[in-house]
Amino acid sequence: CNTRFVADALAKFLKIHAREVSFAGQKDKHAVTEQWLCARVPGKEMPDLSAFQLEGCQVLEYARHKRKLRLGALKGNAFTLVLREVSNRDDVEQRLNDICVKGVPNYFGAQRFGIGGSNLQGAQRWAQTNTPVRDRNKRSFWLSAARSALFNQIVAERLKKADVNQVVDGDALQLAGRGSWFVATTEELAELQRRVNDKELMITAALPGSGEWGTQREALAFEQAAVAAETELQALLVREKV
């Protein structure tokens, strides 16, 4: 099961339109996961969701709520990763230690881009032809893939630097464990670098689209140069007001 498949099945069970079932984000179908779904059923009795049956899916809890669950309404995610058939334990241990000390770039993974990159390919065709996409799910997946690909490209360019954790003028810095962020200025670079080294702050990368990128000055110029060749995808995101 994946999130969309479960949401569609729940809508069918409740006899409502698929758009009336919402969720905060997509879960990986190749994992054991839990998430909340929200179904809009105004004026109806509380349905007996214990009767909802779907292979690979189990209803753990359900209740009424006054507000709709919207995409992106996430406090965070918790993961347990299981490594099997490890062939070089010492090498893995060293890499894990490096991650603890230096952190790890937060790329969007292959799942975001669809099987064989199909979501990104769909976005590229859309950007090139400007043919309207009527399917709501395809629009969402393709736009998300386009934006994620540009983000990954910015991160990849940053990793080519000698010190990826070096704060530069205009970087967008996020407070660790919180959503708050601010822009680095030249006058504060030394102090901000200390806070990054102490893991109080994290250097971020832009999600290009129709709005402000967040970074400014040197950092913004670097990010724009990193994705300068992707004019069609950028134009698509602006046109679709992402």
Instruction: Provide the domain count of the chain.
Output: 2
pLDDT at 216: 98
My answer on whether 202 and 228 are in the same domain is yes
Domain end point (choices 80, 114, 132): 80
Closest to 218 in 3D by CA, of 168, 157, 158:
168
Assess if residue 51 is contained within a domain: yes
My answer on whether 114 and 225 are in the same domain is yes
My answer on whether 116 and 218 are in the same domain is yes
Catalytic positions are 28
pLDDT at 212: 95
pLDDT-flagged residues of the chain (< 50): none
My answer on whether 114 and 213 are in the same domain is yes
Distance CA 218, CA 203 (A): 14
My answer on whether 218 and 99 are in the same domain is yes
My answer on whether 104 and 66 are in the same domain is no
CATH number, domain of 106, equals 3.30.2340.10
Range of the domain at 112: 90-239
Domain end point (choices 80, 104, 126): 80
Q: What single-letter amino acid sits at 51?
A: A
pLDDT at 6: 95
Residue-wise burial string across 139-150, b where 16 or more C-beta atoms lie within 10 A, e elsewhere: bbbbbbbbbbbb
My answer on whether 135 and 193 are in the same domain is yes
Inter-residue contact 58 to 50 (CB < 8 Å): no
My answer on whether 136 and 175 are in the same domain is yes
My answer on whether 230 and 143 are in the same domain is yes
My answer on whether 131 and 193 are in the same domain is yes
Assess if residue 85 is contained within a domain: no
pLDDT at 149: 98
Distance CA 175, CA 173 (A): 7
CATH number, domain of 68, equals 3.30.2350.20
Distance CA 234, CA 210 (A): 8
Inter-residue contact 205 to 165 (CB < 8 Å): no
Assess if residue 17 is contained within a domain: yes
Across the chain, mean pLDDT equals 93
Assess if residue 61 is contained within a domain: yes
Domain end point (choices 55, 80, 105): 80
My answer on whether 76 and 97 are in the same domain is no
Q: What single-letter amino acid sits at 82?
A: V
pLDDT at 98: 86
My answer on whether 173 and 53 are in the same domain is no
CA angle 213, 219, 220 (to 5 degrees): 35
pTM (global) more than 0.75: no
pLDDT at 182: 98
